[in-house]
Amino acid sequence: MFSNYLIGLREGLEASLVVCILVAYLVKTGHRDKLVPIWLGVGIAAAVSLGFGAALEFGTQELTFQAQEAIGGSLSIVAVGLVTWMVFWMRRTARHLKAELHGKLDAALAMGTGALVTTAFLAVGREGIETSLFVWRSVKAAGDGAGPLTGVLLGIASSVLLGYLFYRGALRIDLAKFFTWTGGMLVVVAAGVLAYGVHDLQEADFVPGLQDRAFDISATIPPDSWYGTLLKGTFNFQPDPTWLQVAVWALYLVPTLTLFLAPQLGRRTPKPPAPDTTPAPAAAPAEPGA
């Protein structure tokens, strides 16, 4: 439940911040009449996200077990890729998100109502579709829809409240630090989703090694115990993973988390400017009689 709350909070807060910035900019620049297209775009984005989630849930129910596992495993990998891209993108743009959105909104205002609707739809819809996909996979992994769905709804509700407080100016936090810490935790969650996706592909006979268990601590951490359920719901923990699951989990988590928390490792150190060796121009001869 906590991992889904974190997903709902982070994704919802991104969308809330975007909406707050768009609304505040229009209000401050005297374009209150343009708020309707913004809310229309937000509503369409929410409807598309809900429709996408419903299609994932109901569109796979009539498939065979192997087909369901193959689709679920493949979508797990897609979800991990989207979340990884998202956390790195937000870490890079959190400091200048407002200026970037203002530029897009100025261009949309010049183009008309349709552009405003599209701007709001694209800004919110991306987070909504990512959330639908990631939460759907978490619900499937947990095997219990009530807890994960409750968690994500609470996270989204919290993000809406935080967005309103941002808009009213009642809350000031360092967004760069907030997205860094929540992004790091999401990388850990994504590693578990990736490992579970590999397990789905193994059960679908797409990937070998289903019987090659790395370890089995089911007796120590029973899956049906409260702490086993907590670990599975939070980190997609499995007490009897295969060697391939463990390898994929480690190969994703260690380098991704290292690069995310130490961004300077991925940056080139600028070379100092070369000294200027150009000889100074000779002084002009003094004029006679000067």
164 vs 13, 60, 170, 178, 181, CA distance in Å? 10, 37, 9, 17, 22
Whether residue 139 is predicted with pLDDT greater than 70 in this model: the reply is no
* Alpha helices for the chain (secondary structure H): 2-28, 35-59, 65-93, 97-111, 113-142, 146-168, 175-203, 226-235, 243-261
- Higher per-residue confidence, 217 vs 111: 217
The owner of tokens 């505040």 is 24
In order of 271, 278, 280, the CA distances from 275 in angstroms are 12, 9, 13
Mean pLDDT is highest, among 98-102, 143-147, 178-182, 213-217, for 213-217
pLDDT for residue 250: 94
Structure tokens at 248: 């994929």
Q: Are 226 and 233 in contact (CB under 8 A)?
A: no
Distance of CA 236 to the CA centre of its chain: 17
- The per-residue pLDDT for 180 is 78
For residue 162, the model assigns a pLDDT of 82
Per-residue confidence band for 265, with pLDDT thresholds at 50, 70 and 90: very low
Inform me whether the pLDDT recorded for 127 exceeds 80.
no
Grade residue 290 by pLDDT with cuts at 50, 70 and 90: very low
**Which run of H or of E encompasses 63?**
none
The length of the chain in residues reads 290
pLDDT, position 248: 94
Segment 285-290 mean pLDDT: 51
Distance from C-alpha of 282 to C-alpha of 285, rounded to nearest angstrom:
9
List, for residues 81-118, the tens digit of each pLDDT value: 877 887 787 777 666 666 666 666 667 666 666 777 77
- Phi, psi of 64, rounded to the nearest 5 degrees: -70, 165
DSSP codes, 108-165: HHHH-HHHHHHHHHHHHHHHHHHHHHHHHHHHHHHS-SHHHHHHHHHHHHHHHHHHHH
Q: What are the tens digits of pLDDT across the range 182-211? A: 778 888 888 888 888 898 899 888 889 888
pTM reported for the whole predicted model: 0.63
